Amino acid sequence: MAAEIAAAMPAEIVVAAVLKGSFMFAADLVRALNRVGVATTVDFMRVSSYGESIRSSGDVRIRFDLEVALAGRAVLIVDDILDTGRTLAFVRELLGDRGATLVKTCCLLDKPSRRETAIVADFIGFTCPNLFVVGYGLDFGDRYRELPYVGVLEG
């Protein structure tokens, strides 16, 4: 995936990691981007629409915002999962409005069966069936993020 991103973006980018779920994936991705010659400035934002539920409320809120200036820069949004699409669409529009010259999106997982917004991520790790997944940063009520794999939450 890092090679794909390197081919499609400038050699210097801002990585805007969406917390909390993307933190493990973003860390591995920026190291991989470095290995293929992409210089990154990393910043974080926390955006929420789930709370402690397994269903999105549909109300996207910024809980913690980026600090880096985006005007005139290329930005790669890194998120854990593209589900309904509301969060990623919201963040992409917001960062574009802040003057980024290019905004691309990257998600570890894509769950197209749940899409409610017409959005497609530019870079996707894996397509995910309509199951609630946890691990590798993804959570349920702030639990299971530490798992070194992605698993299905049952029951």
Domains, the chain: 2-152 (3.40.50.2020)
The tens digit of pLDDT for each residue in 57-78 reads: 567 889 999 999 999 999 999 9
Give the tens place of pLDDT for each residue, 28-46: 999 999 999 999 999 999 9
Q: How far apart, in whole angstroms, are the C-alpha atoms of residue 144 and residue 136?
A: 8
Q: What pTM, to 2 d.p., does this model score?
A: 0.92
The separation between CA 112 and the C-alpha centre of its own chain, rounded to angstroms, equals 15
Q: How far is residue 19's CA from residue 7's CA, in Å, rounded to a whole number?
A: 26
Show which residues are catalytic: 83
Question: DSSP readout, 66-122?
Answer: --S--TT-EEEEEEEEESSSHHHHHHHHHHHHTT-SEEEEEEEEE-GGG--S----S
